[in-house]
């Protein structure tokens, strides 16, 4: 993308950028590499948004699809990458433009409401290696938990990851910190819950053995 076009894209909000992809008649398939080229430094945010989508699909394997993708992106941030790396085969994959347009149409009203709340602030956080490492670590943990077949958790983690995605897309440091806090709280709660379940299961198995 020419530099002037990138500058213009950087000034547009997430909804406008998504609409520009959905309404581009020159593309039948929106490859991940092409999307990354369009979003430039927002690459992690847009791919995280795309990776989160299956979590909101009411199918049992939604988290199993989203989880590894989120883990993959989080690991790159954790280890200090500034640009998303994709294997060639994955980079050539992407949603059909018609399907993507339908998703954008459904998401657009929500993004319209969020645009009044999400905006660039505390942007220096996104240039700090420690902050990116924290984001990466929490995405790795969230991706692992999302991939587990735990009933009723897809929408919870999907909402958290949507917060991360919007924060990265809009360079909203305040939203990023809020996503950190919520992700940590949910991870701790899941750990405590898992401990209780494991303890009860161990007790139940012990009673059967005796």
- Kindly indicate the confidence band of residue 24, based on its pLDDT and cuts at 50, 70 and 90: confident
| pLDDT tens for each residue of 45-94 | 888 888 887 777 666 666 677 788 889 899 999 998 888 888 888 788 77
Q: Which domain holds residue 86?
A: 3-209
End-to-end CA distance of the chain: 69
Distance CA 74, CA 72 (A): 6
Q: State the pLDDT at residue 139.
A: 94
User: How high is the pLDDT of residue 3?
Assistant: 44
- pLDDT above 70: percentage of residues in the chain: 80
Count of structural domains within the chain? 1
Mean per-residue pLDDT of the chain: 78
Are 74 and 137 in contact by the 8 Å Cβ rule? The answer is yes
Q: Which of 142 and 66 is assigned the larger pLDDT? A: 142
Task: Inform me whether the pLDDT recorded for 130 exceeds 70.
Answer: yes
3-state per-residue secondary structure call for 12-60? CCHHHHHHHHHCCCCCCECCHHHHHHHHHHHHHHHHHHHHHHHHHCCCC
Check whether 208 has a pLDDT greater than 50: yes
pLDDT number for residue 74: 92
**Which of the residue ranges 18-27, 138-147, 156-165 would you say has the lowest mean pLDDT?**
18-27
Torsion sign (Cα): 20, 13, 178, 124: positive
Q: Over 90: is that where the pLDDT of 179 sits?
A: yes
**Would you state the pLDDT for residue 58?**
63
What is the pLDDT averaged over residues 29-43?
Answer: 78
pLDDT at 69: 86
> In sequence order, what are the beta bridge partners of 96?
29
Residue 192: the pLDDT is 77
């Amino acid at each position: 993308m020419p530099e002037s076009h990138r500058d213009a894209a950087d000034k547009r909000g997430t909804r406008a950028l998504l609409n520009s992809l959905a309404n581009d008649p020159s593309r039948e398939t929106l490859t991940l590499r092409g999307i990354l080229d369009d979003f430039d430094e927002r690459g992690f945010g847009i791919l995280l948004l795309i990776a989160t989508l299956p979590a909101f699909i009411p199918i049992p394997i939604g988290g199993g699809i989203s989880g590894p993708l989120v883990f993959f992106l989080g690991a790159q941030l954790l280890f200090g990458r500034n640009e998303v790396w994709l294997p060639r085969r994955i980079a050539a994959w992407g949603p059909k433009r018609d399907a993507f347009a339908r998703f954008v149409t459904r998401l657009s009203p929500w993004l319209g409401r969020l645009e009044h709340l999400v905006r660039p602030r505390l942007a220096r956080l996104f240039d700090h290696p420690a902050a990116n490492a924290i984001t990466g670590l929490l995405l790795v943990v969230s991706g692992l938990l999302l991939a587990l077949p735990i009933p009723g958790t897809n929408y919870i983690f999907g909402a958290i990851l949507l917060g991360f995605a919007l924060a990265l897309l809009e360079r909203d440091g305040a939203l990023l910190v809020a996503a950190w806090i919520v992700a940590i709280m949910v991870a701790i709660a899941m750990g405590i819950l898992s401990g209780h379940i494991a303890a009860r299961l161990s007790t139940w198995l012990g009673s059967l053995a005796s």
